[in-house]
A and B are shown apart, each in its own frame.
Chain A
Amino acid sequence: MKRMSTDVLVIGGGSTGVGVAWDAALRGLRVILVEKRDLTHGTTGRYHGLLHSGGRYAVKDPQSAIECIEENRILRRTHAHCIEDTGGFFVVTPEDEGDYPDRFKAACAKVGIPCEEIPLREAFRREPLLNPRISRVFEVPDGSADSFLATHVTAQAARQAGAQILIYHEVIDLLTEGGDGDRRVVGARVCDVVRGEEVRIDAAITVNAGGAWAGKIAAMAGVPVNVIPGKGVMVAVNHRLVNTVINRCKMPADGDILVPVHTVAIIGTTDERVSDPEMLTIEPWEVDLMLQEGDKLVPGLSRSRILRAWAGVRPLYQEGYTGESRDATRALALLDHRRRDGVAGFLTITGGKWTTFRLMAEKTVDKVCEQLGVERPCLTATTPVPGAEQGHYWLGHRLHEVEEARLQGDLICECELVTRAMIEQAVANNPTVTLDDLRRDVRLGMGPCQGGFCTFRAAGILHELRLHAQETQAQTDVNGGPPWNVAYLQSPRHSVQTKPAAFNPKVSPLDNPNLLLRDFLQERWRGLTPVLWGRQLKQERLDELIYLTIMNVDHLPEDGEASPLTEFWRFDAAGAKEDGQ
């Protein structure tokens, strides 16, 4: 068995885990991060993309609100290019009566969130589609964040500081030593799920950043951690109905946030306590509720073309809490299992939200340093990640570069303006096992046609890269991994100007283009089925014409083999059996 050793083992490749790896590496600790799939595969990659100002929690959860506004200010500097400075409105609709708006304004002032009531005329000028019956509008510094990019560049920053990031490495067991009252976690046994190899990692301290899965990880050390999995459903509308984040000015509830993200707008979200974080099934009533609530912000939203629906599971945590997940605190929770459970060398960081991931990492690594007996200050608040010098994201960024560099003929995904060079750079620069990984890197297949045209093209390109790679010497880091230069992956111009990076087949061992195709089509289908009607159904039927009539992809050779996504597939099919279909 391959054996590795480190100071800090981080479990979980979401924003929190990657943040912990970055922080710890900047403080000079040796770090290994393991993630069972791709970075942001869990909740980080399944949220609406809101960079909170804290306004949402100002009345109900002031501690969370304070954390949000402080982190909002920091992330705008350290992760500038991952954020679009949309600003945010809190709007009072006819249904939001009572004294909440005034309490909201006072609470924002109290916790230090800049909040200004703006004239309605000004609000409707900026957002003409807003419900004309809105009576008051408050402006706050909300933003729109790209959590895929932010996590990937944070991982790049962590690697540059010396951390190792191992994706598609799933923890099988935590290694413990000692008996009752004197137990400690000394590392983990993990499985490289792509190669099917086991790896033993010895670690002085293990940080459980498993998010919604943190309870399962902790249970491996015999420690009960009662994460409250709160499922949130989000629905993407096919264009930006608004350019500003719109929040309902009321106590947080379902379907009261509308976030412009890249080329779409996302309405969210529900909060349903579920038994299992893998339970991402979306019920028709959940989608209906989102559309119904969305109509209150932007009348007619429910009649726009709906692209996709998905669910993420919040890792809420409240010691001894048994109530509804909507009312559980959004504050972060750092559990020191030595003090709490008598198990040393083991911390769990959970709760919180994307906006506060850096703070969560800071507090966690403070505790790590304390337990390791080292004294090193946190540097993340003042260290920009690679690419931050590009400044804030703006909507026209890709189109502008495609037009200026005349790359129209090289668009592989026309919906999201992904060029061939962007795909080539993405697979050369960070591990790409599936087309879904590529989606998280460059937004492949995220637009209106949901992969109709680009799935085939990307599979063809990846296959050609692999053939070509066998003849060239790929660039790798000291560990034989790819270089992870992801800071400029979003730039069509930069991708085409950069020397084509050689693709290293060793880091992407999934060799079968037929599986890439099949798995990505299935992955897109999962998000489509809850919202397939009207024009989106027509689009889907075109995709069927392409993949069945034209391509015959359901009759390709060797398509029965397992892939890292097959497990999800089985889950889709199993869910159907329970419904008796």
Chain B
Amino acid sequence: MMLDLLVIGAGLTGLTAALRAAEAGLRVKVIAKGMGALYWTPGTIDVLGYLGAEERAVQRPWERIDELPERHPYRIVGVKRAQEAIEWFRIRTAELGLDYGGRKGGDNALTPSPVGAWRPSYLLPAGQRAGDAEDGRPMVIVGFQGMRDFYPHLIARNLEAQGQAARAAVLPWSVLSERRDRNSVQLAEALDEPTTQQRLIDALRLVVKPGERIGLPAILGREAHARVLTALTQELNAAVFEIATLPPSVPGIRLATALRRSLEGRGVRVEIGMEAIDFHAQDGVIEFVETATSARPLKHRAKAFLLATGGVLGGGFDSNPDGRFWETVFDLPLTTPQDRRRWFRPLFLDPQGHPALRGGVAVNDAFQPIDAAGNVVYANLWAAGGLLAHADPIAERSLEGVAIASAVAAVEAIKLGSFAHA
């Protein structure tokens, strides 16, 4: 049976869109080249952290949306619909056992980054909420001897410099593992085991002082995270929080895993290792997308197609030394300057970001890609997420918010009976 919707991309945008579409009764499938950028991100839902050159973090993201560029994805979606999309996402992930929550009143929460800067996020997973600056209680940041991706003294130093009482403590590596060459994911898997959990609890008892919140690297269980968090909190009688550090990032992986399982439970296939290499369109309508596999190219037919391949990082765009910047599946028109001298500013941390990374696929109000003249490129193609023009989700700290809001809005547009051509 013909698919209603083929989603290309398995990052937060693609998985969210597929979930929303399945919920609406569409026959949907996800194909993707790789696992998606969720595996690298801290697992928080960031809506809008910074605006332009403003040094201070945005306090109430929804109240600042109208200061974004006119064709920013949030402004196309609209504040109300974007808020509804995030709330829908929160409820769905709660059903999946991921308890996302934020500050009251729609304020951004602030949690410590792995260098001790405050990260502005709209929603935090349960495991990160006790790290919010609003709490005010002192922190002990606990690391492990020789762990190369976590430096508790550095975090504590910078938190102290910003007025948050914090100290560092270091536990022996052997609490976690006998092997030195373990990354965050492997350590989280080790903590799925009750014996490792108990060793950690016993070790923490020796260093934690009453009244302190305990900050740990984000390794508190991969599958058994909720149980690990509860066990630590109860046994130590203290608030415990995770700090997500260098990729691979366990909180992001937990979210990706939950979404994929939910899709599988609804009978939605998520096919990884499928790189879209070609497509066929007739009279402005896409008939199929072709993917590369080891045996032969596969054709994926659908009534509607949603492009959610992400920006530069997700593989949605490629570029070359001739100054060409292109969209990798449909070669859609991009707003990115086609001149490599205009791609980057001279300072890496320029608060304005870099022009090459703010460009992307321009869409109409229904999230259909349009050309420079404003005409829809393909009648049955929509786009959402990191590849959208007029946003730099990394510079803005709007990665997850833009992904969810635009994915939901695009699926709503697809549902609104754009199947006349089919």
Contact = CB atoms under 8 A, between A and B. Distances in A.
Interface in A547-568: 547-558
Nearest to A529: B344
B54 to A, nearest CB: 11
Contacts of B349: 518, 521-522, 547, 553-554
B146 A545 contact: no
Contacts of B146: 409-410, 420
B320 interface: yes
- Looking at B341, B347, B348, which has the most chain A CB atoms within 10 Å of its CB? B348
B4 interface: no
Q: Which of B40, B114, B181, B349 has the most CB of A within 10 A?
A: B349
B151 interface: yes
Contacts of A302: 321
Contacts of A412: 148
State which size class the interface on A falls in.
Answer: 35 or more
A541 interface: yes
Given A410-B180, A514-B158, A550 B319 contact: no
B149 A549 contact: no
A513 interface: yes
Nearest to B120: A552
Interface stretch (B9-17, B20-28, B126-134, B309-317): B309-317
Nearest to A453: B246
A390 interface: no
A574 to B, nearest CB: 9
Nearest to A513: B154
A533 interface: yes
A575 B346 CA distance: 8
Contact of A408 (B161, B180, B343, B395): B180
A361 interface: no
A460 interface: yes
B108 interface: no
Chain A's interface: helix, strand, loop or mixed, by majority? helix
A463 B340 contact: no
Given A549-B397, A552-B118, A409 B313 contact: no
Nearest to B311: A541
A557 B162 contact: yes
A467 interface: yes
Interface string B39-74: 011100010001000010100000000000000000
B219 interface: no
B91 interface: no
A556 B158 contact: yes
A556 B321 contact: no
B248 to A, nearest CB: 12
Contacts of B395: 544, 548
A532 interface: yes
A509 interface: no
Contact of A549 (B55, B340, B394): B394
A478 interface: no
A576 interface: yes
A537 B115 CA distance: 24
A396 B157 CA distance: 39
A284 B37 CA distance: 31
A581 B244 CA distance: 36
A76 B226 CA distance: 61
Contacts of A460: 115, 150-151, 153-154
A550 B154 contact: no
B18 to A, nearest CB: 23
A287 interface: yes
Contact of A554 (B158, B246, B312, B351): B351
A572 B347 contact: yes
B117 A555 contact: yes
A557 B151 CA distance: 17
B180 A409 contact: yes
Given A409-B181, A534-B319, A553-B115, A545 B41 contact: yes
B116 interface: yes
A340 to B, nearest CB: 41
B227 interface: no
Contact of A557 (B50, B148, B158): B158
Contacts of B42: 549-550
Contacts of B246: 453, 456-457, 546, 550
A550 B244 contact: yes
A532 B115 contact: no
A409 B346 CA distance: 35
A288 B341 CA distance: 12
Contacts of A558: 161
Given A538-B313, A573-B346, A546 B154 contact: no
B399 interface: yes
Chain B, interface SS category: loop
Given A420-B146, A463-B153, A556 B247 contact: no
A324 interface: no
Contacts of A532: 340, 343-344, 356
Contacts of B347: 522, 525, 569, 572-573
B335 interface: no
Given A552-B113, A553-B115, A581-B345, A542 B154 contact: no
A306 B42 CA distance: 29
Nearest to B44: A549
Interface string B283-315: 000000000000000000000000000011101
A544 B150 CA distance: 18
A555 B57 contact: yes
B351 A549 contact: no
B395 to A, nearest CB: 6
Nearest to B162: A557
A306 B319 CA distance: 13
Interface in A458-491: 459-461, 463-464, 467
Nearest to A523: B348
Residue from B148, B150, B245 with most neighbouring chain A CB atoms (10 Å):
B148
Contacts of B346: 526, 529, 572-573, 575-576, 581
A261 interface: no
Contact of A556 (B41, B117, B150, B245): B117
Contacts of A459: 115, 151, 154
A517 interface: yes
Interface in B96-116: 113-116
Contact of B46 (A306, A531, A542, A549): A549
B378 to A, nearest CB: 26
Give the residue among B154, B318, B343 with the most A Cβ atoms within 10 A: B154
Contacts of B37: 545
A385 interface: no
Interface string B377-392: 0000000000000000
Contact of B394 (A467, A513, A522, A541): A541
B148 A533 contact: no
Contacts of A274: none
A51 to B, nearest CB: 30
B182 interface: yes
A577 B344 CA distance: 13
A533 B321 contact: yes
A575 B162 CA distance: 33
A550 B55 CA distance: 17
Contacts of A531: 321
A291 interface: yes
B344 A551 contact: no
Interface string A502-546: 000000000001100110011011100101111001100110111
Given A551-B113, A552-B113, 18 more contacts: A284-B340, A287-B321, A409-B148, A410-B180, A457-B149, A463-B153, A529-B346, A532-B340, A542-B313, A546-B247, A548-B397, A552-B118, A552-B397, A554-B349, A556-B117, A558-B161, A569-B347, A581-B345
Interface of B: 37, 40-42, 46, 50, 55, 57, 113-119, 146, 148-151, 153-154, 157-158, 161-162, 179-182, 244-247, 249, 311-313, 315, 318-321, 323, 340-341, 343-349, 351, 356-357, 394-395, 397, 399
Nearest first, the 6 A-B pairs at minimum CB distance are A409-B180, A460-B151, A409-B181, A525-B348, A552-B117, A541-B313
